[in-house]
Amino acid sequence: MSAPAATPAVAAPAGEPTAVTPAPLLAVQGARKLFALKAAGRLLPWGRAARTPMLHAVDGVDLTIGHGESVGLVGESGCGKSTLVRLITRTLDPTSGTLRFLGEDIAGIAARDFARAPQRKLIQMVFQDPTDSLNPRYAARDTIAEPLRLLAGLSGAELDARVNEVADQVQLPRALLARYPHQLSGGQKARVGIARAIALSPRLLILDEPTAALDVSVQAVILHLLADLKEQLGMSYLFVSHDLNIVRLLCDRVLVMYLGRIVESGPAQQVFASPRHPYTRALLSAIPGLGGAAGQRIRLEGDPVSPIDPDPHRCRFHGRCPKGRDECTRSAPQLAELAPGHSVACLFPESA
Ligand SMILES: Nc1ncnc2c1ncn2[C@@H]1O[C@H](COP(=O)(O)OP(=O)(O)OP(=O)(O)O)[C@@H](O)[C@H]1O
Ligand code: SF4
Ligand SMILES: [Mg+2]
């Protein structure tokens, strides 16, 4: 297998000392994905066509992932986590924004061309449901071998040796490589999915709810395996999960997303110990032993704002926020750093 790509460096601007800073593994700036919804040919009363309504799935997201870093992405259903993931894996084109991977612009590569881009091998996904994500007509060996054949050009003995090596890394007995998905347990299918994802020695592994479909006991085993693999192989993780306990245990940093935007980001221990955004505080309060003592759960009243053409001049959490005030309807909060590395988008953040 080829060695991981070297870390490119960002040169200092002209006239400044020549020290170089390593570029982060991934740097996303101002990423937006708006989906046009059908306006059904509506006409305004004066005959002009109505403007197409736009669903703001991801709406101005900045995020960086460092080398070997594990970043958690949390937020309620529909807030845009998977859409953001699809922008990063370049299966979806952003409406605007920049995405740099190892210092190189990947937003400029059209989603349909990304399969041939050199970065494709280095960004891999582990999917939520191993049953859905594995081809029922492929034996485990073929599932793991496919990206090695198509993207690394391996064949014959070299291909077999690499498949065996990866199976060993995910602790999948080689005897199971001949089996089809319906002949494997949930945990074994999860190992096949992980083996396929790490086969090309990626630098970034994106895990979208990787254990949500598994029994609790199997979940723990697979999470341990993921933590070990990260250390052994030096990968970075973007870990999408509804399970805040998992994020707290596995992630160095956490990003909290609400209706297309990051509302809080910071070191996981700090965010969990002292959430500063009212939404994060409410999320954590629902987890026994995490957000506070039993009986202190913060229940959010009111309906979420629609993601279709939301008012750009008000906070999207207003209406559900226990701390909302009139000012929050006149000015949309931007992410601001309240402590080193800990940023919050709220006009009236909670005290530390
Ligand atoms: N292709 C599409 N066309 C129109 N709207 C879409 C499309 N894909 C996603 N959406 C909308 O974008 C928003 C974000 O969806 P997304 O799947 O990213 O949410 P999520 O945070 O991953 O949710 P979950 O936790 O349930 O997986 C939702 O309102 C969804 O309905
Ligand atoms: S800006 Fe206002 S409504 Fe928005 S989260 Fe902060 S306090 Fe709540
Ligand atoms: Mg999703």
Q: Is 344 in the pocket of ligand 2 (CB under 6 A)?
A: no
* pLDDT over 70 at 261, yes or no: yes
Which is higher by pLDDT, 212 or 143?
143
* Domain-embedded: residue 352: yes
Q: Kindly state if the Cβ of 346 falls inside 6 Å of ligand 2.
A: yes
Using 50, 70 and 90 to split pLDDT, how confident is the model at 110? very high
Check pocket membership of 35 for ligand 1, CB cut-off 6 A: yes
pLDDT tens digits for 137-176?
999 999 999 999 999 999 999 999 999 999 999 999 999 9
pLDDT at 299: 86
CA of 240 to the centre of ligand 1 (A): 14
Task: Tell me how far the alpha carbon of residue 303 lies from the centroid of ligand 2, in angstroms.
Answer: 15
Flag whether 185 is in a domain: no
Examine residue 204 and state whether it is found in any structural domain, yes or no.
no
Give the Å distance between the CA of 165 and the centre of ligand 3.
Answer: 31
* Sheet containing strand 236-240, strands side by side: 123-126, 204-208, 236-240, 70-74, 253-258, 261-267, 342-344, 336-339
Q: Would you tell me how many other CB atoms lie within 10 Å of the CB of residue 311? A: 12
With a 6 A CB cut-off, is 80 part of the ligand 1 pocket? yes
3 state DSSP class of 227: helix
pTM for this predicted structure: 0.91
> In 3D, which of 316, 297, 257, 292 has the Cα closest to residue 72?
257
Q: Which pLDDT value is given to residue 58?
A: 98
Residue 121 has φ and ψ, to the nearest 5°, of: -70, -25
Domain count, the chain: 1
The long-range contacts involving 7-15, CB below 8 angstroms and separated by at least 24 positions, are 7/67, 7/102, 8/102, 8/103, 8/104, 9/103, 10/103
Looking at the CA of 256, name the nearest ligand.
1
For residue 83, which atom of ligand 1 is closest to its CA?
A: 18
- Is 33 inside any structural domain? no
Cα 328 from chain centroid?
28
Residue 81 near ligand 1, beta carbon < 6 Å: yes
Whether residue 21 lies inside any domain: the answer is no
H or E element in which residue 19 lies:
none
Question: 58 CA distance to ligand 1 centroid (A)?
Answer: 9
Protein residues placing their CB within 5 Å of the ion ligand 3:
81-82
Q: What is the pLDDT of residues 278-327, one digit of tens each?
A: 999 999 998 876 655 445 788 888 888 999 999 999 999 999 999 999 99
pLDDT band at 115 (very low <50, low <70, confident <90, very high): confident
Which atom of ligand 1 lies closest to the CA of 79? 21
- Please work out whether the CB of residue 348 comes within 6 Å of at least one atom of ligand 2: yes
Residue with CA closest to ligand 2 atom 5: 346
Residue 87 has pLDDT above 50, yes or no: yes
Give the residue, 42 or 258, on which the prediction is more confident: 258
Full domain range(s) for residue 310: 268-352
| pLDDT for res 291 | 53
Of 292, 329, 327, 287, which Cα lies nearest the Cα of 312? 329
For the ranges 79-93, 118-132, 176-190, 314-328, the lowest mean pLDDT is seen at: 118-132
The ligand minimizing its distance to the Cα of 261 is 1
Spatial neighbors of 280 by CB under 8 A, at least 6 apart, are 256, 263, 264, 271
Q: Give 219 Cα–ligand 1 centroid separation in angstroms.
A: 25
Residue, of 42 and 190, whose pLDDT is higher: 190
Confidence of residue 60 (pLDDT cuts 50, 70, 90): very high
Q: Is the pLDDT of residue 3 over 50?
A: no
Q: Is the CB of 317 under 6 A from ligand 2?
A: yes
For residue 95, tell me if it sits in a domain.
Answer: no
Pocket test for ligand 2, best of 279, 346, 350, 351 (most atoms within 8 A of CB): 346
Q: How many Å lie between the centroid of ligand 2 and the Cα of residue 343? A: 14
Q: For 12-54, write each residue's pLDDT tens digit.
A: 444 455 556 678 999 999 999 999 997 655 555 666 666 889 9
Mean pLDDT in residue range 104-117: 92
Residue 4 has what pLDDT? 41
Between these two residues, 174 and 131, which has the higher pLDDT value? 174
User: Pick the residue with more confidence: 326 or 1?
Assistant: 326
Probe residue for ligand 1, chosen from 37, 83, 92, 132 as the CB with the greatest number of ligand atoms within 8 Å: 83
Question: Is residue 142 situated within a structural domain?
Answer: no
State the average pLDDT over residues 195-212.
95
Is pLDDT of 107 > 50?
yes
pLDDT band at 235 (very low <50, low <70, confident <90, very high): very high
Query: Could you tell me if 166 and 195 are in contact, meaning their C-beta atoms sit under 8 angstroms apart?
Result: yes
333 in any annotated domain: yes
Q: Mean pLDDT, to the nearest integer, of 97-126?
A: 94
In angstroms, the CA 319 to CA 226 distance is: 39
Measured CA to CA, the distance from residue 101 to residue 266 in angstroms comes to: 21
> What's residue 46's pLDDT?
62
pLDDT-derived band at 350 (thresholds 50, 70, 90) equals very high
Ligand nearest to the CA of 257: 1
- The finding on whether 350 has its CB within 6 A of some atom of ligand 2 is no
pLDDT at 51: 81
Q: Which residues, 6+ apart, have CB-to-CB distance to 336 below 8 Å?
A: 343, 344, 345
